[in-house]
Amino acid sequence: MLNIAFIAHDRKKDEIVNFVIAYEHVFTPHNLYSTGTTGTRIMEQTSLSIHRFMSGPLGGDQQIGALVAQNEMDLIVFLRDPLMAQPHEPDIIALLRLCDVQGIPVATNIATAEVLVKAVERGDFAWRELVHKYKPGASE
């Protein structure tokens, strides 16, 4: 079971909702997380249960980042709006940097999200189970 997070800027929320609807069957068995409004929108349109953090500008990106820093997040779909300045841009950059530090796959556009969800569907993320199994403090 993977820990997967969904984040989307305002003009990308419809796109992420449609994406999750299309791949609901892939996401169903996993632990799902999101920033506030994105998670609400996804839950309204699917039968998925999502742990919602605060809205991105209010710290939701940082809350997800805390899980990334602890190497507890396995995949992030973060549909960014590259044409709109974001007031919390430093938080976004920090989250992306943490993903690079921990080697967490992150999709910032729908094309990459499609590739990663297909990998999840094929079982290509089984290596993340080893990360969880051998994490310091994990039971064997």
Per-residue pLDDT tens over the stretch 23-64:
999 999 999 999 999 999 999 999 999 999 998 888 888 999
| Domain spans in the chain, listed from the N-terminal domain onward | 3-133
- As to burial, measured by CB atoms within 10 angstroms (0-12 exposed, 13-18 middle, 19+ buried), residue 133 is exposed
Cβ within 8 Å of residue 121, ≥6 positions away: 23, 26
| Total Cβ atoms within 10 A of residue 47 | 7
Q: What is the pLDDT of residue 92?
A: 85
Residues 77, 86: Cα–Cα separation, whole Å: 17
- The answer to whether 61 is a known catalytic residue is yes
Indicate the residue type of 70.
Q
pTM above 0.85, yes or no: yes
In percent, the amount of the chain with pLDDT more than 90 equals: 71
Tens-place pLDDT, residues 1-11? 999 999 999 99
Of the listed ranges 27-31, 115-119, 128-132, the least confidently predicted one is 128-132
| Residue ranges at the known binding site | 9, 13, 35-38, 55-56, 88
What CATH topology corresponds to 3-133? Rossmann fold (3.40.50)
Q: Which residue has the higher pLDDT, 125 or 27?
A: 27
pLDDT, the chain, mean: 90
In percent, the amount of the chain with pLDDT more than 70 equals: 93
| Residue ranges at the known binding site for substrate | 9, 13, 35-38, 55-56, 88
Options 10, 14, 61, 81, the catalytic residue: 61
Q: What is the pLDDT of residue 44?
A: 97
